[in-house]
Amino acid sequence: MSGIPTMLHYAKPLARLVAELEKLPGIGPKSAQRMAFYLLRIPREEAMQLAHAIAEVKEKIGFCRECFNFTDQELCDICRDTRRDRSLLCVVSEPRDLMAMERTNEFRGVYHVLQGVISPQDGIGPDVLRIRELQARLYENEIQEVILATNPTIEGDATAFYLARLLKPLGLKVTRIAHGLPAGGDLDYADQATLVSALQWRREM
């Protein structure tokens, strides 16, 4: 049960709801209380819609057998799409990164979602991620280039390095997404870390 003292006065079911809401990412005790009171106030049907949506998502959404994106089918929409270029595979760490790439409408290849990055402090090693499955795809399919699109953080870079080491011997082209200045950005307004990295990864023209 949560540690705020006023909670002791709540009826048990309400306290339980607050405690459950508090577990959600980005939700503190105060927001949890506000949401609980809101749910109490709205009509029963509306609240049940939320409960139903949660139950449904847990029942129906699973991972794509191919790329490990979220899907309600065996294969996700992208993996089923025959117009996709199957020689080009983009590796991302989370489904939300895949969504970000998709929003660009530029990438026509397929994806592989690792479901995390290597982070010893969080107990995540390569064997926890979908790396074995990635290797299996590479052996079987016609993939020619793997784009490593993990975030440019310490953990994302370590994961990319690990994958590059692993995949290069397979005779594939392995690339890393560029990082540096944002497009349309102002040099003067860029933060120094970004500028340093843009300078380091400059290219010849």
Binding site for other proteins (CB under 8 A): 118-121, 125-127, 154-155, 157-159, 161-162, 165-166, 189, 191-193, 196
- If the CB atoms of residues 119 and 175 are measured against other proteins, the closer one turns out to be 119
CB of 163 to other proteins, least distance (A): 9
- If the CB atoms of residues 92 and 118 are measured against other proteins, the closer one turns out to be 118
CA torsion angle 117 119 120 124 (round to 10): -30
CB of 74 to other proteins, least distance (A): 29
- If the CB atoms of residues 144 and 175 are measured against other proteins, the closer one turns out to be 175
The CA distance from 105 to 122, in Å, is: 34
How distant, in Å, are the alpha carbons of 6, 13, 19, 122, 163 from that of 3? 9, 16, 10, 25, 43
Is-contact 66 76, C-beta < 8 A? yes
CB of 154 to other proteins, least distance (A): 5
- Quote the strand ranges of the chain, DSSP E: 62-63, 70-71, 88-92, 110-113, 145-148, 173-176
Is-contact 144 172, C-beta < 8 A? yes
CB of 58 to other proteins, least distance (A): 31
CB of 13 to other proteins, least distance (A): 32
- If the CB atoms of residues 106 and 127 are measured against other proteins, the closer one turns out to be 127
- If the CB atoms of residues 189 and 205 are measured against other proteins, the closer one turns out to be 189
